[in-house]
Amino acid sequence: MKKIMLIGICLLAINCKGVSQEKEIKDKTASGSETAENTYPITKTEAEWRAELTDMQFYILRKAGTENAGSSELLNIKKPGTYVCAGCKTPLFSSEHKFDSGTGWPSFDRAIEGNVAYDVDYKIGYERTEEHCAVCGGHLGHVFNDGPGETTGKRHCINGAALQFVPVE
């Protein structure tokens, strides 16, 4: 009897479905509209992306990687300009909304409306809001609710390798 109960418990445990690594099927743009996963205006093969991006840009944008804190050349830029997607050049963030979060990654209190899409990310075991380019789907970073209270309260924590800075001329 004990063997049967033990086998039953083991079968139940094996059949339990974990959801910590599952990803939502729908993405939401900043305006709240939903689009099916992987349906972006700019789509390329992995080989095409590899040919156009540096190794680090490919790792961040196409493989949802994270650069080391403090390693981005964009971290301390204070000039006026626009931060664009390194993959497709879509304007994503304005320098007027950049702030020093002390985290080691470029941080902004808001994105350019409609150019950043959001998804749910469980990669480290709990829910986070992932950000990616709404035009090419490139991974940018995550958004948190610990930004400047006097503005939006949001902290868009972005990998510098996912961006290129275009200064105001």
DSSP letters, 26-62, are EEEETTS-EEETT--SS---HHHHHHHS-HHHHHHHH
Q: Considering Cα of 48, then 51, then 55, then 61, what sign does the dihedral take?
A: negative
Helices and strands in the chain, H and E counts = 3, 11
Phi and psi torsions of 59, nearest 5°: -60, -45
- Is residue 157 annotated as part of the catalytic site, yes or no? yes
Contact predicate 111/98, CB 8 Å: no
Distance, CA of 15 to CA of 28 (rounded, Å): 32
Instruction: Please pick, among 88, 133, 136, 157, the residue that the annotation labels catalytic.
Output: 157
Q: Sort residue 152 into left (φ over 0), alpha (ψ -120 to 50) or beta.
A: alpha
Task: Write out the catalytic residue numbers.
Answer: 157
